[in-house]
Amino acid sequence: MTDDTALHLDELHARLEQRAQDAGLLDVAYRTVDSPVGELLLATTERGIVRIAFQREGFDEVLQTLSAKVSPRVLRSPALLDDAATELDEYFEGKRRGFDLPLDFSLSHGFRRAVQGILPTIAYGSTASYAQVAAAAGSPRAMRAVGSACATNPLPLVVPCHRVLRTDGSLGGYAGGLEAKSTLLHLEAAA
């Protein structure tokens, strides 16, 4: 078929996004955005942002997981993520120190969910050790579990797991790669 058909299908897709949302069928909307740490995938439910993913995690896999764990009614629908995209842009430009986005933690449970709830208390530009976060979570010896909670954080950047380092100050791990973690820490230190 022709390019005209491709354009026509894009128009039909845009109309479907609107109608699916009006009908309450759009369970998971997503889009991608460019950033200094590579392309990011943003996904939202009716409740709030449910997933932010780095390209190296594999967007197809991330979407498949959302389909299995949240709902298969997943549609690319950029308009619903305009606010999130804008706030992230401002953050990467050094103009924003915190996020005002509704969050949906339905991909996290138990201790991990508790740890991810504590991470936003680590202020912009500062860092904490895995041990300190474990202590703040009320389980001072659960450093390893804190590490897992950071590694499985479904909402990186917005839930700032990049601000958690090893006790000796070394980077530890990061779903977006160590280079991304270091980029974010430098960005926050410079702003």
Partner 1 sequence: MMLLPFETVVRTHGRTVLRVCLSVAGADDADDAWSETFLSAMDAYPKLPNDANVEAWLVTIARRKAIDVVRARGRKPITVERLPEEPSTLGIPGALDDERAAAETVARAVSALPGRQRQAVTYHYLGGLPYQEVADIIGGTTDAARRAAADGIRALRRTMGARP
Q: Which of 161, 164, 175, 180 is catalytic?
A: 161
Strands of 28-143, DSSP E: 28-33, 40-44, 49-54, 74-76, 128-129
CB of 157 closer than 8 Å to CB of 49? no
150 included as an active-site residue? no
Instruction: Count CA atoms within 13 Å of residue 188 on its CB side.
Output: 17
- Residue 20 touching partner 1 (CB under 8 A): yes
Which residue, chain included where needed, has tokens 């926050």? 188
For partner 1, give the closer residue by CB, 80 or 142. 80
* x/- letters, 53..82, toward partner 1 (CB under 8 A): ----------xx-xxx--xxxxxx------
Residue nearer to partner 1 on the CB measure, 32 or 182: 32
Is the Cβ–Cβ distance between 103 and 51 less than 8 Å?
no
Length of the chain: 191
Is residue 144 involved in binding partner 1 (CB under 8 A)? no
Query: How near is the Cβ of 160 to partner 1 at its closest, in Å?
Result: 28
Provide the β-strand partners of residue 76. 30
Q: For partner 1, which is the closer residue by CB, 31 or 162? A: 31
- Binding site residues, partner 1, CB under 8 A: 1, 5, 8-9, 12-13, 15-16, 19-20, 23, 25, 28, 30, 63-64, 66-68, 71-76
